[in-house]
Amino acid sequence: MLPLCSRVLLSHPFSPMSLMALREQLNMLVNSMYIEGLLDQQFQQLQMLQDASSPGFVAEVINLFCEDAERILTELTKDQAVVDFQKVDAYVHQLKGSSSSVGAQNVKLACIQFRQFCEENNKDGCLNALNVVKHHYYLLRNKFDTMLQLEQRIQAYDSKQQN
Amino acid sequence: MAVGGKRRWWWKRRAAVVAGVTIAVSVWVGSHCYFRRENMAKAEEALVSMCEERARMIQDQFAVSVNHVHALAILISTFYYQKQPPALDQETFAYYTAKTAFERPLLNGVAYAERIIHSQREIFETRQGWTIMTMKREPSPMQDEYAPVIYSQETVSYIEAIDMMSGEEDRENILRARATGKAVLTKPFRLLESNHLGVVLTFPVYRSGLPEDATVEQRVEATAGYLGGAFDVESLVENLLRQLAGNQDITINVYDITNASEPLIMYGPQIPEGYMPLSHVSMLDFGDPFRKHQMHCRYREKPPLPLSAITTPFGIFVIIMLGGYIVFAAKNHYDNVKEDCRKMEELKVQAEAADVAKSQFLATVSHEIRTPMNGVLGMLDMLLDTDLNLTQKDYAQTAQVCGKALISLINEVLDRAKIEAGKLEIEAVPFDLRSILDDVISLFSSKSREKGIELAVFVSDKVPEVVTGDPGRFRQIITNLVGNSVKFTERGHIFVQVHLADNSDLGADEKVHSGLNGLSRSEKVQIMSDCTFDTLSGFEAADTRNNWENFKLLLSDEMCLQEASTSDKEPDIVTLIVSVEDTGIGIPLRAQDRVFTPFMQADSSTSRNYGGTGIGLSITKCLVELMGGQINFISRPNVGSTFTFTAVFKRCNKDAIADTKRTLSEALPTGFKGMKAFIVDGKPVRNAVTRYHLKRLGIAVEVANTVKMMLNSLTRQNSNFRTGRQPYIILIEKDSWYTGMDVYLHNQLLMLKQNDCVLELPKVILLVTCEYDKMSSGSLVDTVIIKPLRASTVAACLQQVLGMEKQQKKELSNGPTNLRNLLAGKNILVVDDNKVNLRVAASALKKYGATVECAESGKDALSLLQLPHKFDACFMDVQMPEMDGFEATRQIRLMESKANEQISNGGASRGEDSMIVEWHLPILAMTADVIQATYEECLKCGMDGYVSKPFEEQQLFQAVAKFLVSKPSSDS
């Protein structure tokens, strides 16, 4: 992760201080998320995929992920009374897929746990796991929100400069 | 506290000692007294009986004498019968009494005194011829009456004519006797003449006609005289007693106690002598009721204390003292032991606490060291990426190597500490055992090549592809063992084998099976002539169980078991036996029992020669035990060591595999299925290893011992190969190779080809152990594989030789750009129901220049893939609702095969046919759970491979390269 941030910093050696500060802030945020285990290498891959041709790629993926996750979580929360383990399993699998694509490590791990409970047809375990998943997800979404705001501001600066 | 306790304890002990001694002494004294008293009682009893005996005897004797005197008195009285004076004279009396003296042994003599009234004195004196004398031999003064002795026994003749009434005692006697008419005794007095103590017995002699109940006056009136006798008590008693036993022991006093306040002594010393406290008094009855006599007996000396009265108590005392001492000593000992035990417990608790503290400390410190070390290593990594001159680079690299060594040491210590603190937990995840072994082998490949050691791995076919366990720890164990082996082996081989535990037991009953394959027996004889031992490299191994004999059995066993066991329900637990055999320096016998002790190498010189800390094996043992196994070894110095351990894993059910497993290694290429290979190798163990690796690639294998045999069998089986489409490969071991062989072989093969035995020239591959051998291979060999063999290296080599991927080498060196080359301009369809995944995958592929289309379900994909289509490849998610990836692929393949049939049936034009041989869209599964089982399923439903999701560059490249390279991209 160190090389990454240094690269980001070095790539804009002459940008104004506020822009530098914003980038610094963004880096700090992302780094802290790595350290907390919210994100893994995959997110780094995502960041690397973002380039001039697709400036909003990360944001787009994050938004997709959040929509997807929220939809699934709503579904999962809805039918708590009668648990159809297969259905739940399918949902959790999907959530696991998207979270691993985004690099949301904690959510992914929680999903794996969740699926194990599903297989055991352990209702209490599932409910617990759902709470854990939610917990991690909301934590992550908050961070993502901050991250996206920062990125927007950076892009705003960029476009201003270009103008 | 302790001092006080000790003091109290000391006091207690002292008190116990004192109490013990007191008890013993008192018992001693008590028993002694008891014995004494007992003795006294006995003595008294004896005294009483002796005394009584004497008393009775004296009494009897006395009575006899008295009776006789009585009889004499009556006799005399008869002489008075109508006679005055009696018809008796002195001579007759003396004669008679002398003759009858034996009847009166107690009497000195008897005398008869006649009663003379004063009035008759003169008549009497004249008749007798003498005057009556007093006791003092004087003529008697005038008295009322006299009792002069007229007859006397000769012994007492001196008292003749003496008036008995002149003596005080005699007079009293006479008066009392005639009044009572009975025998009367005087009190004792000194007798005349003898001067002995004596008594005088007096009987009255009455004239006849006295009635029985006469009054005193009548009696006095009838009295004729008095018969008297002197008892010389002293001499007589003495004579009597002399006859009795025990006479010396006792003294006897006889008293006249008529006057109780003033006893008169009759016999015995005047002053009582002898042992005073013990005496006995017996009453004596001498027939005179007026007189009372007593006999006092006592011992002359104090009765002696018997020896037993001293020895027995002393014995008891000694016994009690000894017993007390034993109890005391036992108690003391018990106290000491208890105290020691308590101290030991305390120390043990302390030691345990210290041990735990140590482990925790180690764990903590190691962890704390690791964190900054990681920083150091990371920075060194980055430093190495910067522009450095050669010296700097060298320094930095050295630092890095040292740092890595330090980290690995710390990790080991940490592991050890964790295990000791019980903090190490064993994971349970599915993993591919074979790929782990391959990894370990490749880790040590450079070292083994340098040393020229053969390093080989063999996994039994019965071992499942995927097991659930802790791959990291398993790898660590294998790495430790192999690392050790590599370190200590200079020649020969290192051979890692994995078998099922229940299976390898069969190796024991060797004899039963050896008859089964007689053919290989004859081959074996031939082999034996070549090399000394049937091991991997021909060097002797420590554990003889690993030689070909047993190995073969395991193999042949597998063959038959495989056929039978497929239908069986497989158990849930897989117990594997892993053995690591080397032909190194071995472990000295004296060090063998502490091999698994931490920081203990065989001897201190070992660490100088070979380095290392010696912690590895102890960790290995701990790990093996944590995994539910056991480790042991057989080692012979200078021959080698074989470490064998068992490990218990769980069998994976397919679903669990699909869900939790992430790939641990790259998948093996699958392009070799159906190929055939010939191995030329004289050593059966080694060719089994080679066969194992080729089998994993799906290559059918035949074995020949020499090149010649190989050529023969080629010629024989030519018909088989003619039909086979696949190229034929020949792998030759270095041992079977010699200079000039290449030319010979080439010519032979050419000949075979000309004879139409083979369709095309087989590829010849030489297997060597070290770089040096590579030189001697000759020019006509297609390639050389340097051992250790790994399925993936073999695969790479084969690909190279067979021209399957000409560019692979180059591409591997710079992956991403080549991935770009591979994918640029390609049309790729990505199918995934998950929008996020779809977007990410598409974006990643786009980054490499591919044109990407997306489909969100299997059905969409099918409609997009209606033939003909423009896509070069398809990435298909496996798990999708409605139609999953497998089903979609099956449908696509169905469509394609229909189309292909049409083409081959001539439905399409020839031109098209030459362009596209047949429709086959490379379909790659995208799945997060990449493991062998999924892979097999992918292949089963017609997929070409899989990529992990999210994409990993290297793996994506490998997967894609297989399919897209065969159609080289236009812009590369």
Of A13 and B288, more confident: B288
pLDDT > 90 fraction of chain A, expressed in percent and rounded:
0
A120 touches chain B (CB under 8 A): no
For the segment B312-326, the average pLDDT, to the nearest whole number, is 88
Q: With contact defined as beta carbons under 8 Å apart, do B810 and B957 qualify?
A: no
Q: With contact defined as beta carbons under 8 Å apart, do B199 and B187 qualify?
A: yes
d(C-alpha B576, C-alpha B437), whole Å: 14
Would you say how long chain B is, in residues?
972
Chain B residue numbers with beta carbons less than 8 Å from the beta carbon of A102 are: 836, 840
Q: Which of B839, B847, B928 sits opposite A100 (nearest CB)?
A: B928
Residue of A nearest to B840 (CA): A101
A89 touches chain B (CB under 8 A): no
Enumerate the β-bridge partners of residue B227: B112, B203
Q: Which of A45, A57, A112 sits opposite B950 (nearest CB)?
A: A45
Taking alpha carbons only, the member of B497, B490, B483, B499 closest to residue B617 is B483
Chain A residue numbers with beta carbons less than 8 Å from the beta carbon of B840 are: 46, 49, 61, 101-102
- Cβ–Cβ below 8 Å for B928 and A97: yes
Residues 6+ apart with CB under 8 A from B854: B829, B830, B831, B832, B838, B842
Q: What is the mean pLDDT of chain B?
A: 75
- Cβ–Cβ below 8 Å for A97 and B837: yes
- Cβ–Cβ below 8 Å for B881 and A90: yes
Chain B residue numbers with beta carbons less than 8 Å from the beta carbon of A51 are: 847
- Given a cut of 50, whether residue B783 has pLDDT beyond it is yes
Got the DSSP string for A136-153?
Answer: HHHHHHHHHHHHHHHHHH
Most confident of B232-246, B480-494, B530-544: B480-494
Q: Is A106 exposed, middle or buried (0-12, 13-18, 19+ CB in 10 A)?
A: buried
pLDDT > 70 fraction of chain B, expressed in percent and rounded:
77
Chain A residue numbers with beta carbons less than 8 Å from the beta carbon of B847 are: 49, 51
Chain B residue numbers with beta carbons less than 8 Å from the beta carbon of A96 are: 928
> CA-CA-CA-CA torsion for B333, B334, B339, B343, nearest 10 degrees?
100
- Cβ–Cβ below 8 Å for A45 and B844: yes
d(C-alpha B324, C-alpha B851), whole Å: 106
Q: How far does the CA of residue B952 sit from the closest CA of chain A (Å)?
A: 9
Q: Which of A101, A120, A141 to mutate to test the interface with B (most CBs of B within 10 A)?
A: A101
Q: Which of B377, B657, B836, B930 to mutate to test the interface with A (most CBs of A within 10 A)?
A: B836
- Cβ–Cβ below 8 Å for B949 and A49: no
Q: With contact defined as beta carbons under 8 Å apart, do B322 and B23 qualify?
A: no
- Cβ–Cβ below 8 Å for B949 and A3: no
Which band of pLDDT confidence, cut at 50, 70 and 90, is reported for residue B342?
very high
- Which pLDDT belongs to residue B970? 39
- Given a cut of 50, whether residue A14 has pLDDT beyond it is no
Render pLDDT for B156-185 as a digit per residue (tens, 0 to 9): 888 888 888 887 777 888 888 888 888 888
* Least confident residue range of A48-57, B345-354, B520-529: B520-529
d(C-alpha B435, C-alpha B666), whole Å: 8
- Cβ–Cβ below 8 Å for A2 and B378: yes
Q: How far does the CA of residue A64 sit from the closest CA of chain B (Å)?
A: 6
Which band of pLDDT confidence, cut at 50, 70 and 90, is reported for residue B659?
very low
Q: How far does the CA of residue A86 sit from the closest CA of chain B (Å)?
A: 12
- Given a cut of 80, whether residue B602 has pLDDT beyond it is no
Of B827 and A80, more confident: B827
Interface A-B: count of C-beta contacts within 8 A: 62
Q: What is the pTM for the complete model shown?
A: 0.42
Position of tokens 């108690």? B331
- Which pLDDT belongs to residue B504? 47
Q: Which of A48, A49, A63 to mutate to test the interface with B (most CBs of B within 10 A)?
A: A49
- Given a cut of 50, whether residue B584 has pLDDT beyond it is yes
Chain B residue numbers with beta carbons less than 8 Å from the beta carbon of A61 are: 836, 839-840, 843
Render pLDDT for B955-969 as a digit per residue (tens, 0 to 9): 677 777 766 654 443
Q: How far does the CA of residue A9 sit from the closest CA of chain B (Å)?
A: 16
Q: Which of A49, A57, A112 sits opposite B660 (nearest CB)?
A: A112
Distance, CA of B554 to chain centre:
39
Render pLDDT for B35-59 as a digit per residue (tens, 0 to 9): 888 888 888 888 888 888 888 888 8
For the segment B578-597, the average pLDDT, to the nearest whole number, is 82
pLDDT > 90 fraction of chain B, expressed in percent and rounded:
2
Pure H helices in B386-532: 390-420, 433-443, 445-451, 471-488, 501-504, 510-514, 518-530
- Which pLDDT belongs to residue B307? 84
- Cβ–Cβ below 8 Å for A101 and B833: no
Q: φ and ψ at B183, to 5 degrees?
A: -70, 140
Chain B residues with CB-CB distance to A under 8 A?
Answer: 378, 382, 655, 659-660, 832-837, 839-841, 843-844, 847, 877, 879, 881, 928, 949-951
Q: Which of B382, B832, B840 sits opposite A46 (nearest CB)?
A: B840
Q: How far does the CA of residue A100 sit from the closest CA of chain B (Å)?
A: 7
Render pLDDT for A93-150 as a digit per residue (tens, 0 to 9): 888 888 888 888 888 888 888 888 888 888 888 888 888 888 888 888 888 888 888 8
- Cβ–Cβ below 8 Å for A3 and B382: yes
DSSP symbol at B949: S
For the segment B783-808, the average pLDDT, to the nearest whole number, is 71
- Which pLDDT belongs to residue B554? 62
How many beta carbons lie within 10 A of that of residue B624, not counting itself?
Answer: 23
Which band of pLDDT confidence, cut at 50, 70 and 90, is reported for residue B756?
low
| ipTM of the complex, rounded to two decimals | 0.72
Residues 6+ apart with CB under 8 A from B504: B554, B577
Interface of A with B in 122-161 (CB under 8 A): none
Q: Give long-range contacts, CB 8 A cutoff, 24+ apart: A116-120.
A: A118/A85, A118/A88, A118/A89, A118/A92, A119/A85, A119/A89, A119/B655, A119/B659
List of domains in chain A:
18-48+70-156 (1.20.120.160)
Q: Which of A3, A49, A68 sits opposite B835 (nearest CB)?
A: A68
- Which pLDDT belongs to residue B475? 85
- Cβ–Cβ below 8 Å for A98 and B951: no
* Least confident residue range of A14-18, B170-174, B488-492, B885-889: A14-18
- Cβ–Cβ below 8 Å for B836 and A42: no
Chain B residue numbers with beta carbons less than 8 Å from the beta carbon of A88 are: none
Residue of B nearest to A87 (CA): B881
- Cβ–Cβ below 8 Å for B843 and A96: no
Q: Is B4 left (phi over 0), alpha (psi -120 to 50) or beta?
A: alpha
Question: What tokens does B773 get?
Answer: 């051998």
- Which pLDDT belongs to residue B915? 46
Render pLDDT for B497-529 as a digit per residue (tens, 0 to 9): 888 876 544 443 333 333 333 333 333 333 343
